[in-house]
Structure 1
Amino acid sequence: MPEHCAAYSCSNRRTVETRARGITFHKFPKDKAMRKKWEVALRREGFTASDSSVLCCGHFKQGDFDMTGQIVRLRDGVIPSIFSFPAHLQKPVKSRSTITSRRAEESLSVASQDDPKTGTSNPQPQPNDDHGYALPASPTALKIRLNEALARVESLEREKKNAMAREKRAKTTVESLLGDLMEKSKKDL
């Protein structure tokens, strides 16, 4: 039975395709206190994790994983922290509280608008998509690119392993043929 990621609005489910893309799924902790922290981090009202509930790797930071073995595991004490919540679940952003900081914020917003006197506009930084090394603007897009790169690395490592095995078989075959030729040449003499 396919397992779905328990995070709000996440459509990842455990399939052959997601595995090929390098997406891993992680069960909720058995420790009740840690499980509660995960449930709180999800911000899903009335949600209680079952023994089969899982979260996909998209909700954890890269440093949260232990990739020393063949299996990708989460480090101890890790809490999921990457989510794309709808507006009603977002934590409110505190506004400036002092008069001076509000004035500074207003002056920044005025400076970024067009200058009505000269008819010119202040240049705004634009995302640079010209270069392959430029980072995407959103963390979600960055996570997608990272997962694609990790899947590519895994694929290349598999290809390398297969190529090395083919090379070893070819060497064995060549050595066997050379041995046969040497024996045949000795008989002919």
Structure 2
Amino acid sequence: MIRFHDNNNHVGRIKVVKDIMLMFYWVGVTEVAKAWINKCEFCQNRVLPETKKPLVQFCFVYGCESSSSIYPELSFHRFPEDKDIRQRWLSVAQRDESSLRSNSFLCSKHFEPSCFTLSDEVRLTLSPGAVPTIVPETGQEDQVPSEEDFLFSHSLEDPFSKSSSPPPSPMGLQEHQYCLQDPEPTETELKRRFLNESSFKVFNHIARYLSHRILPMQNRKGISSLKRMTNRFALKGE
């Protein structure tokens, strides 16, 4: 144990057992290694660095795209345990009880300023029993392509080329009159740029559904296609 643990940078139990079993047959080596490491003063007093990244929090309100990574100035609040108040939260979020998860949050954009109080640490905290009242404005979102278009296309750009048209040419702005104008992008370049941006939206919808079970604002056919497409993907690290 001194050789494989103490003189080996005080590695963990799994590494110690693996190295020992490569050279020796030792019945009960796992329990011996565990007991040895628990009695090791160096291991017990060692402070491990914090490597776990904070999880990104998404707003659960239907049509709200807020997240803690994009809007760090917002606060995100878990659903209350009180059934009546929770139903009022769900009503504003336009969700049902079955869609709730342990990582479901509402961002502070949906609460009135009067719902927050200033704590002793000079921080705004959500008052107990606060109810959200601000509902986001819903607009027409880009439609998700059908599953058949997505699967049988030759590239990611094909599904969007059927229903999307390239955006209008951006107006060129000059800082000074003597500045040279950038060359106007061709129609092919505009189309390729637009299609690449659109293809990422599908993967964003898939990733958001896999991690938080939040669906985009789509019709029933589009939602069904998106759910079937998620069966062919998995989040890395889960």
- Would you call these one fold, judging by a TM-score over 0.5? no
| Structure showing the higher helix proportion among its residues | 1
- Using the size of structure 1 for normalisation, the TM-score is 0.39
User: TM-score when scaled to structure 2?
Assistant: 0.32
Higher relative contact order, structure no. (Cα contacts within 8 Å, ≥ 6 residues apart): 1
Bigger Cα Rg: 1
